[in-house]
Structure 1
Amino acid sequence: MNKTVLKTKELLDLFLDCERLTLPEMVERLRMPKTSVYRMAQSLVALGFLQKRGDHYELGLALLTFGSLVAERLDIRRVALPVMERLKEATNEAVNLVIRDGDEALYIEKVETSEPVRVYTKVGRRAPLYAGACPRALLAFMDEKEQARYLERAKLVKIAKNTVTDKQALRRQLEEDRERGYTVSYSELENYSAAVAVPILNHEGAAVAGLSVAGPEQRFLPDDVARIVPLLRQAAMEISRELGFQGKGWK
């Protein structure tokens, strides 16, 4: 294991028992050269993992961000899984749960269909936010300013035959998705696959996850989508309520 990383972890561990520490106090507890401890501490300050107030160091806000994300993601999986299992029984299709990780969607939970013909996805899979119903649910219901910044920097790469690679077309699609309150995709991430997705909202009303029902295109005709959407919305709202959402949701 990398010794520098281990020493840095030892330094951060000091703050499990101590709210504030001076440089001499850290040196004494770590039994390391003062210059080494100083360099590590200053690097952690620069990264936001520590902050310095006068002669004392304390934990920084970056750790709060990471801690909140971990807690939120674990809560979503725990809360969502039984709801996803019921949704799978109601639709007889695969159900996926994604969260945002930077400019990508990360699949963190899946309930597989019992149908012999199915769409390939797995926990841990990543996809760009612009492609596929479930990732695009995160993008469509993102804060509008943040969405605009993403669209400015994103490079749209063709993944399957219907992947949207034109930014103006994508903007129109996102407006339509947001207006109707759900997303639909056909052959955007994988040829001959289809999905319908809705956002999951947290206590602040922000879209923190996407929930989708997915399967082969031939099982997602307009009548199928019309049948799935109310079930999907109900499931997403149930999860959102468990996360503290009190509003009426999208549509």
Structure 2
Amino acid sequence: MIIIIPANKKTPVLQSVQHGLQILQLFTIEKPVWGITEIANALQIHKSTVSRLIADLLVEGFLQKEGHKYSLGFSLLSISGVITSHLEIHRESKDILKKLVSDLEESAHIAILEGKEITYVHKIECADPVSLLSSIGKKNPVTCTSAGKVLLAFKPNDKIESIMAEGLPRMGPNSITSPEQLKGQLSQIKQQGFSICIDEMHENVVSIAAPVRDYTSEVVAAVSVVGTRERIHHTKINGFTERIIGAANEISMKLGFIPDKEWTLD
């Protein structure tokens, strides 16, 4: 049975979420500290409701207490840092991806890890794109894609174990469903600095990815190029891989990463 909620009626949960967001939006550079009575008066909400919502926001770190008043907490700083990072990656990768697509004549992506999936945050298509259903914002399983494996390979073991514990999906005919085989492959990817997937996400599809690092040397994204086996055949893979690693390193350096000799292309 489908329950339709009229647009002019909100459930208590939705109303609480709305009020919580309205509280956060009150905090500005001009007025960074608010009291419960001030918030209640500004939003025309009962003080007991404001008090309860503030208690929840304190627990989650979205607000912090300053005497008898409140200011924004560090959880919001963390979220804003993620947004800023993604915007910076998008901005710094744009021209480099265009050059990569021009050189290789295949579509290129920037992907990030979100939970047990990857999300494409940037894509530039080639002149003759292959219909692979990849688009900005689309999510794919982390263990079936070259970008996903690159991102996962540089994560702590507990993160890798938690993802494997949820099961390894079979997508293309070569999808890896053995945890031990995947762990071995991730170890190799971390050592060599790139990933190649053939027929793992889709049949007859090759994807090659390399890691993007920020100024802390953390892997924050992956550059990937995707095409058919006919277009990225075995004689081209080495050349493609070298070019993709080069593009990923260029983006990394724009994000402040200082490469060691092993990361510098000749």
Q: TM-score, normalised by structure 1?
A: 0.92
Match of 1:62 in 2: 75
- Secondary structure of the 2:144 match is coil
Q: Which moved more, 1:6-15 or 1:230-239?
A: 6-15
Q: Counterparts of 1:165 and 1:20 in 2: how far apart (Å)?
A: 52
* In 1, Cα distance between equivalents of 2:118 and 2:261: 21
Q: Does 1:9 align with 2:21?
A: yes
Equivalent position of 1:177 in the other structure: 189
Structure 2 residue aligned with 1:166: 178
CA RMSD of aligned residues (A): 2.0
For the residues of structure 1 that align with 2:262 and 2:159, how far apart are their CA atoms?
A: 17
The offset of 1:133, in angstroms, is 0.5
Q: Which moved more, 1:1-10 or 1:97-106?
A: 1-10
Unmatched 5+ stretches in structure 2? 1-6, 8-13
Post-superposition offset of 1:211 = 0.3
Task: Judge which range, 84-93 or 25-34, deviates more.
Answer: 25-34
Contact 2:141–2:169 (8 Å) recurs in 1: no
The higher-RCO structure (CA 8 Å, 6+ apart) is 1
Range 52-61 or range 67-76, more displaced: 52-61
Match of 1:216? Answer: 228
Q: What is aligned with 1:22?
A: 35
1:246 corresponds to 2:264: no
Select which of 228, 237, 247 maps to 1:225. 237
After superposition, the Cα gap between the structure-2 partners of 1:250 and 1:146, relative to the gap in structure 1 and judged at 3 Å, is farther
Whole-angstrom CA distance in 2 between matches of 1:249 and 1:208: 20
**Structure 1 regions of 5+ residues with no counterpart?**
none
Q: How many residues align?
A: 250
Q: Which amino acid aligns with 2:162?
A: Y
Mapped to 2, the partners of 1:52 and 1:246 lie a distance apart of 39
Q: Deviations over 1:108-143 (max 9, x none)?
A: 11111223655442112111221110111111122x
User: Does the alignment pair 1:77 with 2:90?
Assistant: yes
CA drift at 1:50: 1.2
1:193 to partner: Cα distance: 0.5
Query: 2-side partners of 1:55 and 1:102: how far apart?
Result: 37
Q: In structure 2, how many angstroms separate the alpha carbons of the residues matched to 1:147 and 1:10? A: 34
Cα distance, 1:250 vs structure 2: 6.0
2:213 corresponds to 1:201: yes
Distance 2:262 2:72 in 1: 38
Distance 2:17 2:262 in 1: 44
CA deviations 1:65-114 (Å, max 9, x no partner) are 11001111111111111111100111111111101122210011111122
Aligned to 2:167, which of 150, 155, 163? 155
Equivalent position to 2:149, from 136, 147, 151: 136
Measured in 2, the distance between the counterparts of 1:5 and 1:241 equals: 40
1:91 correspondence with 2:104: yes
The answer (yes or no) to whether the contact 1:23–1:38 under 8 Å persists in 2 is yes
- Residue 109 in 1 paired to residue 147 in 2? no
The match for 1:235 is 247
Identical-pair percentage = 26
Q: Distance in 2 between matches of 1:124 and 1:207?
A: 19
Partner of 2:59: 46
Does the CA contact (< 8 Å) of 1:198 and 1:212 recur in 2? Answer: yes
User: In structure 1, how many angstroms separate the alpha carbons of the residues matched to 2:203 and 2:108?
Assistant: 18
Matched residue type, 1:86: K
CA distance in 1, matches of 2:213, 2:22: 37
Look up the equivalent residue of 2:115 and give its one-letter code. Answer: G
